[in-house]
Amino acid sequence: MNILVTGGLGYIGSHTIVKLLENNYNVICIDNLCNSNEDVIEKIKKITSKDFKFYYGDVNNKDLLTKIFKENKIDSVIHFAGLKAVGESVKYPLKYYKNNLNSTITLLEVMTEFNVNKIVFSSSATVYGKQEILPIKEDSTLHTTNPYGTTKLVNEMILKDETVANPNMSVVILRYFNPIGGHESGILKENPKDTPNNLMPYIIKVANKEYPYLHVYGNDYDTIDGTGVRDYIHVCDLATGHIKALEYMNNHQGIEYFNLGVGKGYSVLEIVKTFEKVNNVKIPYKIESRRPGDIASCYASTKKAEQLLGFKATKTLEDMCKDSYRTNND
Ligand code: NAD
Ligand code: UFG
């Protein structure tokens, strides 16, 4: 089976390529390196001792996509490519709409031309906005609070409309909760190019003494210790979810939506304490005011993914904290 992976050199894509190669899929990857590095290719090869094809370029480039589909008999697509920084999307909405929507449209046009009908799409728990009822189920109401989130929601709509127009299509929408961690070899991990906005990459910078302390955004939420609660999932578990999605598409048509999370929430201070314990390192922090737009708690109902995909996350919070910080020399 030949799988085209867009954005495959990024954080989640690279861990998924490792899983794909380990499961004997052939991988063809396209990435424009706007948020990743070419050295990830060698890292993936080192971990798996397997090879894959890489095309440098943009998913918005129809000629390049056409060339890729001509040169390779693609069976399914996993579409990770996209910009993902919430704050940046508020500042530059058009950049986000242009990149994240045009890429999917172009990809679908070329897929249609080559009669490729199976696609897994990277969506996000951000499409649920603020939910009162937890755990969050896939059929909850959807609304977004920033342009990044809106690109995810509109992408879901585009894919749904395409499925109606073409009944042969099989689409799996994966709504990720909070991916953290890295490959257990320490070779592959999240490597943000700019100042990290997300909790775990920021904690790592503090652990490495690049930043003096962690800003904890609010301790007056209605949660176990007042700090924000999220559903953190190990990126290698998330990668397995994509293998399950590919298997699901082999005998299902139409569109289906799945949460990928652990189903349990942890607070910021629980993460800090666990990280300190398993890595034997101090994470100084200061409590600050709430970050605008944040919610108190968010965690997934994992039932649907368990029942229909046969997917269940296996890694513990300890694993996640350890594998986030692990170095190659461990
Ligand atoms: P990432 O930035 O590490 O990876 C995205 C990759 O896509 C990068 O390698 C980037 O260079 C590439 N890319 C972006 N636009 C492209 C384009 N037009 N053409 C070719 N390549 C392009 O991000 P990630 O964390 O691996 O996320 C992957 C997907 O999952 C994204 O769609 C993201 O929105 C979604 N997602 C991520 C999270 C998260 O917390 N990491 C949560 C929910 C959803
Ligand atoms: N937090 C801090 N300090 C930091 C960073 C985060 O205290 O430096 C707190 C936040 O206030 C929140 C929790 O840590 O309570 C998690 O914050 P993240 O920024 O890591 O994650 P979010 O849940 O806010 O958002 C992430 C992605 C979104 C995505 C969402 C759901 O950034 O794009 O998960 O998938 F939509």
Q: What is the pLDDT along the chain (330 residues), one digit of tens a residue?
A: 999 999 999 999 999 999 999 999 999 999 999 999 999 999 999 999 999 999 999 999 999 999 999 999 999 999 999 999 998 999 999 999 999 999 999 999 999 999 999 999 999 999 999 888 999 999 999 999 999 999 999 999 999 999 999 999 999 999 999 999 999 999 999 977 778 889 999 999 999 999 999 999 999 999 999 999 999 999 999 999 999 999 999 999 999 999 999 999 999 999 999 999 999 999 999 999 999 888 999 999 999 999 999 999 999 999 999 999 987 544
Question: Is the N-terminal amide bond of 179 cis, ω within 30° of 0?
Answer: no
- Please say if 148 is a catalytic residue: yes
Ligand number nearest CA of 214 is: 2
pLDDT of the residue at 330:
47
Q: Is 242 in the pocket of ligand 2 (CB under 6 A)?
A: no
Give the pLDDT confidence score for residue 74 in this predicted structure: 98
**Nearest C-alpha to atom 5 of ligand 2 is from which residue?**
199
Pairing of strands 254-260, 170-176: parallel
CB atoms within 10 A of CB 120: 26
Burial of 140 (0-12, 13-18, 19+ CB in 10 A): middle
Å from CA of 256 to ligand 2 middle: 26
pLDDT at position 328: 57
Q: How far is the CA of 189 from the centre of ligand 1 (A)?
A: 14
Check residue 244 and give its pLDDT.
Answer: 98
Domains in the chain: boundaries: 2-180+232-261
CA of 199 to the centre of ligand 2 (A): 6
Q: CA-to-CA distance for 223 and 220, rounded, in angstroms? A: 8
The answer to whether the beta carbons of residues 237 and 315 sit under 8 Å apart is yes
Q: Ligand 1 within 6 A of 157 CB?
A: no
| Domain 2-180+232-261 indexed as CATH 3.40.50.10470 | no
Residue 217 in contact with ligand 2 by CB distance below 6 A: yes
